[in-house]
Amino acid sequence: MNVRAAIAYAGRGIARPRYHANDSRRDVIDIAPLDMEITDARARVPTLDDAGFTLVAHRSAVAEFGDREAVDAVYRREIVDLISELSGAHLVLAGSPGILRFSEKSAQSGALDNSRPSGIVSATARPLQPVQP
């Protein structure tokens, strides 16, 4: 099913936009909504070769992603193995442990550094035109 929605992009109206993940009141950013079609990509089966990404099912052995030791000991290896298997790459590196973000309704939203959801798609610049499917 496809739907249309206004997606908030960072506009081009400010020479040096600033986004503060922990305090949006300090943002200096031009929000430029762009009406776009949203498609359920699961039905399209995007591939790495055709779309540059793919959707795969993965169940991690990590029970709590707030447990940094478990993420470092288990999840990083899981992701390296998964990407190696999918891409055929001989070397895959997984950097930082990732950022935990929570729904605005969650009591954990804002409890950790950069844990609030972003209200914009891109903090750099919006596309000149919508990408055609």
Please list the residues that pair with 129 across neighbouring strands.
Answer: none
On the question of pLDDT at 61 being above 70, the answer is yes
Residue 80 has a pLDDT of: 92
At residue 68, what is the residue type? R
pLDDT, tens only, 67-76: 888 888 899 8
In a 3-state reduction of DSSP, which class is residue 85?
Answer: helix
pLDDT, tens only, 99-132: 788 888 888 887 777 777 777 776 554 445 555 5
On the question of pLDDT at 22 being above 70, the answer is yes
On the question of pLDDT at 98 being above 80, the answer is no
Please list the residues that pair with 2 across neighbouring strands.
Answer: 39
Q: Quote the mean pLDDT of the chain.
A: 81
At residue 125, what is the residue type? A
Residues 77-106 have a mean pLDDT of 87
| CB-side neighbour CA atoms (13 Å) of 12 | 5
On the question of pLDDT at 62 being above 90, the answer is yes
On the question of pLDDT at 95 being above 60, the answer is yes
What's the pTM value of the predicted model, to 2 decimals? 0.60
